[in-house]
Amino acid sequence: MDSGAIRRRLALGLAVLTASGLLAVAAPGEAQAAASAYCPGRKVRTLPFSTGTVLVYKRGGYVCAVTLTKKPGVKRTMSVSVQARGNLPVVDQGTYAYHAGPVTVHAGRRCVWLKGKVGRGKYSSGWILC
């Protein structure tokens, strides 16, 4: 075997090892990656309550929120609401199996009020992210 063939085999082995390592590291965050697919930006808050969680993301003055249920696959009444101070709330409500939202508002540097509901459980944040 010449040195070129040895280098190619070593490079292939290193690539396979690197890919398998990345997959092992990425798998635990798979559920969170699914939630972040709904909202652009970085997650700034996780607001848990008895029957679900409201995830809040921020990007360039915009605030986005999605409500996730603790029991996915079961259709329940769900809602998510985001209100920038001085504006009306943006709401998504209905019967969903996995999530309500996403809803996005332009908040700039204003405070926002977030609400989430899954079945009988609900969450209301008060003014945050000021």
pLDDT (tens digit per residue) in 69-128: 999 999 999 999 999 999 999 999 999 999 999 999 999 999 999 999 999 999 999 999
Q: What is the model's pTM?
A: 0.72
Q: Residue 96 is encoded by which pair of tokens?
A: 């969903």
Question: How many residues are there in the chain?
Answer: 130
Pairing of strands 52-59, 90-96: unpaired
Is pLDDT above 60 for 53? yes
Is pLDDT above 60 for 35? no
| Contact assessment for residue 112 and residue 83, using Cβ atoms and an 8 Å cutoff | yes
| Rounded-to-integer distance, Cα 117 and Cα 100, Å | 9
- Which is more confidently placed, 53 or 29? 53
The SS3 of residue 96 is: strand
The SS3 of residue 105 is: strand
